Amino acid sequence: MSDANPQSPFDVRGAVDLAALNRPQAPPPGQPGGAPDAGGYVVDVTDETFGALVESSSSYPVVVLLWIPTDQANAQVGVDLGVLAAEQEGRFLLARVDVEKYPQVAQAFQVQGVPTVVAVLAGQPVPLFQGGAPIEQAREVIGQVLAAAEANGVTGRAPSQGDQDGQETAAPAPEPEPELPPLHQEAYDAIERDDLDAAEAAYRKAIAQDPKDAMAPAGLAQVHLLQRTRGLELGAVRTAAADAPADAAVQLAVADMDMLGGKVEDAFGRLLDLLPGADAETKESVRARLVEYFEVVGVTDPRVAKARQRLAIALY
């Protein structure tokens, strides 16, 4: 993502149709029962501050919540993401956009419904999810964003924001982190110290001990992705892929880089496009890689369902 242009990914299209929203209402932010006010590592974005927000994503990850603050479902997403922002203490900035007040910003993200959550890394928008999500699922998604940011050198810390009076706002107390199973904690610690071989070994032990442990294969697939992309330079990989569109090895490499950067649909599409006319060895390589991607993204993700259907058609 070092070659990202902070402006080019945002394209203001037609009006966003949000008029159909007719759900239970919540108090405005800061009121009892509503989302918290901005402050700490949470900011409210305006038309005037949007450009600076995109520029700041070259220093630290920005997670954008496009919402209607007084809609109950939207407010809950705002509460949960605020908790996660406080937990991470500046590893990402939560930027909230009231789509009714600032429709131009919503249009820049091509929003079709709210709440919508998008990450911005080095100026590049990365769609995360639309609609509500349990906080544990949102926490997992944020973890993937932070891993992609670190892999692309976006490792700064967001400054803590003041409240409306210029005073520093205390961040809400974070929820206690759920305790990981011992082997998962071992793998996590190994990743933190950049010992990917040890992380792989820990996840393999976890799978051997409990074949029903759904988290372990996902963790192992993420470690494999980190191992394969270690030392790769995005520009060189993309050039090689452009020069050899039929070379499965280089296409697999650029798909890995796309996955690491959060470009899930690009990675899926690139590999699925290799299958028509491919030999048996290539088909098996692509199938195995896609199965790992499905674990990384999460088998309940709608993008996975679509890709799995295309894969089945291409193979059988």
**Mean predicted lDDT score pLDDT of the chain:** 84
Q: Both tokens of residue 305?
A: 């369902």
- Taking the C-alpha atoms of residue 271 and residue 210, their distance in angstroms, rounded to an integer, is 31
Instruction: Report pLDDT digits (tens) over 68-113.
Output: 998 888 999 999 999 999 999 999 999 999 998 998 888 888 887 8
Instruction: Report pLDDT digits (tens) over 224-267.
Output: 999 999 988 888 988 998 998 889 999 999 999 988 878 889 99
- What secondary structure letter does DSSP report for 130? E
User: What's the pLDDT at 153?
Assistant: 87
- Taking the C-alpha atoms of residue 68 and residue 74, their distance in angstroms, rounded to an integer, is 6
Token pair 């296409």 is found at 251
**Burial state string for 289-298 with b = 16 or more CB within 10 A and e = fewer than 16:** bbebbbbbbe
pTM of the model: 0.49
Q: What percent of the chain clears pLDDT 90, i.e. is strictly above it?
A: 55
Q: Which CATH number fits domain 42-151: 3.90.1150.10, 3.40.30.10, 3.30.300.30, 3.60.20.10?
A: 3.40.30.10
Instruction: State the pLDDT confidence band at 3, using cuts at 50, 70 and 90.
Output: very low
Distances (CA, A) of 8 to 110, 159, 238, 248: 13, 26, 18, 29
Instruction: Report pLDDT digits (tens) over 159-201.
Output: 987 643 434 444 444 455 567 789 999 998 998 898 999 999 9
- What secondary structure letter does DSSP report for 125? E
- Taking the C-alpha atoms of residue 47 and residue 64, their distance in angstroms, rounded to an integer, is 14
Longest dimension (CA), the chain: 66
Instruction: Please compute the mean of the pLDDT values over residues 48-75 and round it to a whole number.
Output: 93
Distances (CA, A) of 178 to 76, 136, 257: 20, 9, 30
Q: Which helix (H) or strand (E) segment is 224 a member of?
A: helix 215-229
Residue type for 117, please? V
